Structure 1
Amino acid sequence: MQVTSIGHAGFHIQTAAGSILCDPWVNPAYFASWFPFPDNSELDWKTLGDCDYLYVSHLHRDHFDARNLAENVNKDATVLLPDYPVPDLRRELEALGFHTFVDTEDSVKTTVSNDKGSLDVMIVALRAPADGPIGDSGLIVSDGETTCFNMNDARPVDLDVISDAFGHIDIHLLQYSGAIWYPMVYDIPRKTKANFAAQKRQRGMDRARSYIEQVGATWVVPSAGPPMFLDPELRYLNDVPDADGTPDTTSIFPDQATFLDQMVEHGTDDGTTHRGLMMVSGSTAELRGSELVEVSHPYPPEQVFGANKAAYLEKMAEKFAPVIAEAKASWAPADGEPLLPPLRDLFEPIMAASDLICDGIGYPVGLVMGDQTVVLDFPNRTVREPKEGEGKYRYGFRIPAELVRTVLRDDEPDWVNTIFLSTRFTTWRIGGYNEFLYTFFKCLTAERIAYADGWFSEAHDDSASIEKDGWEIQRRCPHLKADLSKFGVIEGEKLTCNLHGWSWDLPTGRCLTSKGHELRANKIES
């Protein structure tokens, strides 16, 4: 097996039974805030894209690069599709022209074959609303000799299922660096922010080392981060070491060299066998079973790390300045019609469909966009102007109006993985982190919010029932957990959930659309 880093979380896995292209991200993401580090723009993407299999772990834009997929990746490649509750990833790939899919089952090993041979694969799909925009995943692949676990930035909770299915893992690819906006964008004192950042940075690396210890792979490749921040407004986010190479511990974005040092420091790598492998964009590791035959690099990796990193980032900033300027020119103008009406049209239907999430948020949230302020009044399910004398909101966001107008123009279903990950905003909060709030901002479609609200409901109570047209039925749709009091339609003895059109025979509870997914239903005697 030959494993080639193609930048960030991206890898090209070559086997005798075919090649798998994983998470091929190259174009800047999140309003041109994120660029792959080190630079991967000069790789031979046409050759990399001429693959047998494609695996996109989830829809985050540093994994799902629509432009690269459209321009460079073979549309006849077989897509290894994670088992997600909402079909957004499949729809996006189909829209780009991909047409052959292997629908995997969560955490179940399967065999895929072509005229070159067979591979054993498993995709561990994380399906809580907090995982990606409705999903994150990791891929395990074995060619019969070498087993690779590409965990990217997934956080699986059951690792035994992997070892039970595959035995020993030979090479483990995983995230170790930050992929969040906390605490950099928070309106808190500078010293406090630096302390929080140092804690966040270390927790991320500690978590990665815990995964390494649990998986127990022979070789480990730190990947999936950090990005480069090349816009002058965002350059402060980079971990730029001192002249002697000492890392900036107030950055939540440590780089590969820093994490490899951490592995040695904490005993995850004994410093002799060098279990941790440095790979930059274009580096290739050739393995036979657990034997590492060779690691080759396109250039000496130390050219981009330590004392050389500042100069490298400066060079990249100059290279990509026109790209950033072009991206900014594509944003919607900051000025225009009042933002209250389109925000009301977007948010109020989502609020109406998410009682549990709105109640979980529990208070009004302020959106300050230039000279306009709009209040998301979650307790009352309304979007409104501020009330006279209304004080500072417990949670609030200051977002440039052009970013809001752009996501509205583009009908973006997920503000978290567009505006928020761009770090081009500031925020404040009184009290703790509100998972319900960020889940809401990830789920700005009827499908997503129905699933998310149902997921939270089931996490608290899976026995709720409703009465509808003479029947007592379970409240949540067995398909994607939609609230049947809102989406269910009964005609005679048939129930249809209008969210996806799935139907059930009420007397038996049998699903008429698919195998399984039985519905609990009882006729109410008059």
Structure 2
Amino acid sequence: MTSTGHAGFLIEANGATILCDPWVYPAYYASWFPFPDNSGLDWKALGDCDYLYVSHLHHDHWDPRNLAENVNKNATVLLPDFPVPDLRRELERLGFHEFVETRDSVKHRIAAPQGDLDIAIVALRAPADGPLGDSALIVSDGETVLFNMNDSRPVDLDVVPREFGRVDVLMVQYSGAIWYPMVYDMPKRAKDAFARQKRQRQMDRCRQYIEQVDPGWVIPSAGPPCFLDDELRHLNDIHNDPTNIFPDQMVFLGEMRAHGLNNGLLMIPGSTAILAGNDLRSLQHPLPDDEVERIFTTGKADYIEAYAQRQAAVIAAEKAGWEPAEGESLLEPLRRKFEPIMNLSPLVCDGVGYPVLLRLGTEDIVVDFPKRIVREPISDEKFRYELEIDASLVRTALRDNEPDWVNCIFLSTRFTARRVGGYNEYLYTFFKCLTEERIAYAEGYYAESHDDSATITFGDWEIQRRCPHLKADLGTFGIVEGDRLTCNLHGWEWDLPTGRCLTSPGHELRACRREP
């Protein structure tokens, strides 16, 4: 297997090649770049593959320009079992025409010259999973089992031991891939506290996956992004800052060792590992070991500075393609975009529950979810949620008819958020689902009742087994401290005496104290 950067790998087994998540061009309005730099790889050679796997449509995994320019269109696509066919449509638009339509968590056999390969794709299909879908890939050549989780968070991993046995190599996300709390307008002390908590929880979650899967080797992957624009450079974790949510691979390998996990492997773009079962035959980097180490330690600041200079023209060209900030009022364009979606989504709108203020340069616009309208603010109106976004990005998203503002504007971190109270999942679900097909699926998902029939015991508490958020097994991901339950899959919290969700309204938990 060869690392192509971020969550990307070229897997070679039994004479066949599988290219996974080949991302090289900047994502999210030129905010995210792969770290370390992978632009110098031979992408034509990497793209001459037999199979292509794109885990989901986030642009640090889905790179349409790279796919169009460099990847063999006769490659067979291993397609996750997603609820809406957006990924297949986008691939067909680029010229891909051969597909293996997998079923969620079901083993499939694919052809290879020296003996067929077994694969399975674990498809995550909740509204909070990527742009209505995220996935993980399992590959076996009969001797070695690879489990590429990229940045998915499976809640049920039974398919792995049942169908494949022990995992030899686990590729797993450990670093931040979100805007929280970095973009929030709050006092520095509070932001640092939330970021410290976020950083540790995401690494704790990764370690829980490692302990659950119990692989022979672990490769930290799917992060961190590298921020090269001058406006965003402060987001890089240069000095192992405990209040930064974007730790790098070397930091997480240290975290593993601190918890007695000594089976981590560092791979950078161009690193190649040869494995036979659990036997690591070789690991070779494209640079001498001391140069690789400097990228993550004493030379990291200089490395990012040089990287930024190489990409300066790319960032400038991207910005030149944005719509001008000034222009006609955005009120009517946003009405045409949002109001039809709001009228199709009563559960999502009621879940948001409040009007949301958009500060778009010199213009303020209200997305009034309770009334299902877009309007101007009322004098002295107060808001629970505010989003301040450069009007040029909104105009560009409208011009491009973007179906998912989370996957362009919000992940860019080029905005500021303010809120009173907890995170509102429904608000960001709305911005992910700006098509009739997407919002219909989200409505249907929320209409289904979560299964809370099974019960587990934590000390003095009896609690429903399945998390009300995304049905994770709280026996695996739940932690009880006093009267508070935390699900480490996404860091959501509940007050046990009341069952109230402390993270987002509308996700009550069934819990009661055990009889003495």
TM-score between both structures, scaled by the size of structure 1: 0.84
Query: What's the counterpart of residue 386 of structure 2?
Result: 396
Summarize deviations over 1:327-381 as a string: whole Å, max 9, x none.
0001111111110001000000000000001011111000000010110000000
1:446 pairs with one of 422, 436, 439: 436
> Aligned pair 1:338/2:336, yes or no?
no
Q: How does 1:38-53 map to 2 (within 5 A)?
A: 38-53=36-51
| 3-state SS in 2 of match to 1:188 | coil
Q: Which amino acid aligns with 2:360?
A: M
Q: 1:122 to 1:99 in 2, by over 3 A?
A: same
> Aligned pair 1:375/2:372, yes or no?
no
> Aligned pair 1:191/2:189, yes or no?
yes
2:252 pairs with one of 259, 266, 269: 259
| Aligned alpha-carbon RMSD (Å) | 1.1
Query: Using the alignment, how far apart are the partners of 1:67 and 1:331 within structure 2?
Result: 17
Q: Contact 1:350–1:444 (CA<8 Å) still a contact in 2? A: yes
Query: What's the counterpart of residue 217 of structure 1?
Result: 215
| 3-state SS in 2 of match to 1:139 | strand
1:205 pairs with one of 193, 198, 203: 203
Q: Which amino acid aligns with 2:429?
A: T
Q: CA deviation at 1:114?
A: 4.5
Query: What's the counterpart of residue 356 of structure 1?
Result: 347
Query: What's the counterpart of residue 476 of structure 1?
Result: none
Query: Using the alignment, how far apart are the partners of 2:77 and 2:51 within structure 1?
Result: 6
> Aligned pair 1:418/2:421, yes or no?
no
1:365 pairs with one of 341, 345, 356: 356
Q: CA deviation at 1:117?
A: 3.4
Q: How does 1:139-150 map to 2 (within 5 A)?
A: 139-150=137-148
Structure exhibiting the larger radius of gyration computed from Cα positions: 1
Query: Using the alignment, how far apart are the partners of 1:169 and 1:162 within structure 2?
Result: 8
Query: Using the alignment, how far apart are the partners of 1:453 and 1:346 within structure 2?
Result: 18
> Aligned pair 1:100/2:63, yes or no?
no
| 3-state SS in 2 of match to 1:304 | helix
| 3-state SS in 2 of match to 1:67 | helix
Query: What's the counterpart of residue 70 of structure 2?
Result: 72
Summarize deviations over 1:447-504 as a string: whole Å, max 9, x none.
000000110011369xxxxxxxxxxxxxxxxxxxxxxxxxxxxxxxxxxxxxxxxxxx
Query: Using the alignment, how far apart are the partners of 2:66 and 2:139 within structure 1?
Result: 24
| 3-state SS in 2 of match to 1:138 | strand
Q: 1:460 to 1:167 in 2, by over 3 A?
A: closer
Query: Using the alignment, how far apart are the partners of 1:116 and 1:99 within structure 2?
Result: 24
Query: Using the alignment, how far apart are the partners of 1:116 and 1:289 within structure 2?
Result: 17
Query: Using the alignment, how far apart are the partners of 1:44 and 1:75 within structure 2?
Result: 17
Q: Contact 2:160–2:166 (CA<8 Å) still a contact in 1? A: no
Q: Which amino acid aligns with 2:295?
A: V
| 3-state SS in 2 of match to 1:93 | helix
Q: How does 1:7-46 map to 2 (within 5 A)?
A: 7-46=5-44
2:58 pairs with one of 60, 72, 80: 60
Query: Using the alignment, how far apart are the partners of 2:217 and 2:3 within structure 1?
Result: 14
Q: Contact 1:17–1:118 (CA<8 Å) still a contact in 2? A: no
Q: Contact 2:110–2:116 (CA<8 Å) still a contact in 1? A: yes
Query: Using the alignment, how far apart are the partners of 2:160 and 2:111 within structure 1?
Result: 21
Query: What's the counterpart of residue 118 of structure 2?
Result: 120
Q: Contact 1:17–1:119 (CA<8 Å) still a contact in 2? A: no
| 3-state SS in 2 of match to 1:426 | strand
Summarize deviations over 1:104-139 as a string: whole Å, max 9, x none.
000000101154531100000000010000000000
Query: What's the counterpart of residue 427 of structure 2?
Result: 437
| 3-state SS in 1 of match to 2:129 | coil
Q: Contact 1:334–1:400 (CA<8 Å) still a contact in 2? A: yes
Q: CA deviation at 1:162?
A: 1.1
Q: Contact 1:284–1:297 (CA<8 Å) still a contact in 2? A: yes
| 3-state SS in 1 of match to 2:449 | helix
> Aligned pair 1:281/2:269, yes or no?
yes
Q: Which amino acid aligns with 1:262?
A: E
Query: What's the counterpart of residue 407 of structure 1?
Result: 397
Query: 5+ unaligned residues in a row in structure 2: which ranges?
Result: 452-516
Q: Contact 1:137–1:151 (CA<8 Å) still a contact in 2? A: yes
Q: CA deviation at 1:249?
A: 1.3
Q: Contact 1:123–1:137 (CA<8 Å) still a contact in 2? A: yes
Query: Using the alignment, how far apart are the partners of 2:450 and 2:152 within structure 1?
Result: 24
Q: CA deviation at 1:17?
A: 3.6
| 3-state SS in 2 of match to 1:356 | helix
Query: What's the counterpart of residue 498 of structure 1?
Result: none
Query: Using the alignment, how far apart are the partners of 1:7 and 1:59 within structure 2?
Result: 17
TM-score between both structures, scaled by the size of structure 2: 0.86
Summarize deviations over 1:401-457 as a string: whole Å, max 9, x none.
000000000000000111000000001000110000000000000000000011001
Q: Which amino acid aligns with 1:422?
A: S
Query: Using the alignment, how far apart are the partners of 1:221 and 1:264 within structure 2?
Result: 13
Greater displacement, 332-341 / 297-306:
297-306
Q: CA deviation at 1:389?
A: 2.5
Q: Contact 1:18–1:117 (CA<8 Å) still a contact in 2? A: no
Query: What's the counterpart of residue 457 of structure 1?
Result: 447
Q: CA deviation at 1:81?
A: 0.2
Query: 5+ unaligned residues in a row in structure 1: which ranges?
Result: 242-246, 270-274, 462-526
| 3-state SS in 1 of match to 2:111 | strand
Query: Using the alignment, how far apart are the partners of 1:225 and 1:234 within structure 2?
Result: 16
Query: Using the alignment, how far apart are the partners of 1:85 and 1:314 within structure 2?
Result: 42
Query: What's the counterpart of residue 159 of structure 1?
Result: 157
Query: Using the alignment, how far apart are the partners of 1:107 and 1:182 within structure 2?
Result: 31
2:378 pairs with one of 376, 387, 401: 387
- The count of residues paired between Structure 1 and Structure 2 equals 449
Which portions of structure 1, spanning 4 or more consecutive aligned residues, are displaced by more than 4 angstroms? none
| 3-state SS in 1 of match to 2:298 | helix
Query: Using the alignment, how far apart are the partners of 1:149 and 1:125 within structure 2?
Result: 13
Q: Contact 1:374–1:386 (CA<8 Å) still a contact in 2? A: yes
Summarize deviations over 1:217-274 as a string: whole Å, max 9, x none.
1000001000110111101100011xxxxx11111000000000000001222xxxxx
Q: Which amino acid aligns with 1:285?
A: A
Query: What's the counterpart of residue 317 of structure 2?
Result: 326
Q: CA deviation at 1:204?
A: 0.5
Q: How does 1:469-488 map to 2 (within 5 A)?
A: none
| 3-state SS in 2 of match to 1:267 | coil
Q: Which amino acid aligns with 1:248?
A: D
